Amino acid sequence: MNIHPTAIVSQKAKIAEDADIGPYAVIEEDVQIGQGAKIYSHAHILNHTTIGDNCQIHMGAIIGHLPQMRKSVTTQGRLVIGNRNTFREYTTVHRSIEKEQPTMIGDDNYFMGFSHIAHDCQIANRVTVCNGTLVAGHVIIEDNAFISGNVTVHQFCRIGTFAMIGGLARVAKDVPPYMLLKGDSTIWAVNSVGLRRANFSIESRSQIKRAFKTIYKSDLNVKQAIERLKDQGSSPEINHLVEFISNSQRGICTHKKPSLWDRIFLSDPVANRTSISAYKLFRRPKAENK
């Protein structure tokens, strides 16, 4: 086991023999770390944490700390992390409130710098959480979701499989699977690019687009839209979409037609690449020479 001499590692911690522990890392006693783990300098792994194989925990990350809440926590919750997860610089992941139901993180997830996963979250597999994103407690994120930078996710929300959350968005309700969300809890469209990259068939993508129109662009309410989807035929994707919406406790995010301002500054790639100096917007025109 390669442990730097400045690292503080409890003798009671269960660490695989091929793990690599960097300088000034702190690993407490009730910690299990699997094979092939790489713990970088100044990382802190706290009690009641289990980490699977081939995980990377980068500089300054805090894994398994107490839940962040005002009331005192009397029970010792847990954090269980699967295999091949990466936690970049200064990521924070908190353990659960109750021992019986730990904070769970599956396999092959990527958490970028300064992201935060709060207590009692359930993160599935192949999820990407970008820099500065804040995920509150009891949030459920399904497989292959992509959450861009500086996003805030309200507690008890759910984000469906292959959903794409745009940067700086605020998620206050459930995000249905396969959808693209931008701005203030607003569904814009189907995550077509993500579905193509994931090799969804043309037929599956067409079914999801028809479902999107049924849910968001018809005159039906959510309950009526669900019944319409059931009548239109079944597929694994549509069945999961129907089940997700039917089980929503917070309600699903709404859809609105983007305004001209939204299309220019949130969608148009040319506008996003164009730099306009602020002084030019407010500069008075020069008087013509007489």
Is the Cβ–Cβ distance between 238 and 226 less than 8 Å?
no
Q: Which segments of the chain does DSSP mark as H helices, in order? A: 192-197, 202-216, 222-231, 236-246, 260-262, 269-273, 278-282
Decide: 180 and 166 in contact? Cβ < 8 Å. Answer: yes
**Residues 143 and 124: beta-carbon distance below 8 Å:** yes
| Euclidean distance between CA atoms 191 and 99, whole angstroms | 37
In a 13 Å sphere around the CA of 83, the CA atoms on its Cβ side amount to 5
Residues classed as catalytic: 119-120, 137
Q: Residue written as tokens 């997700």? A: 244
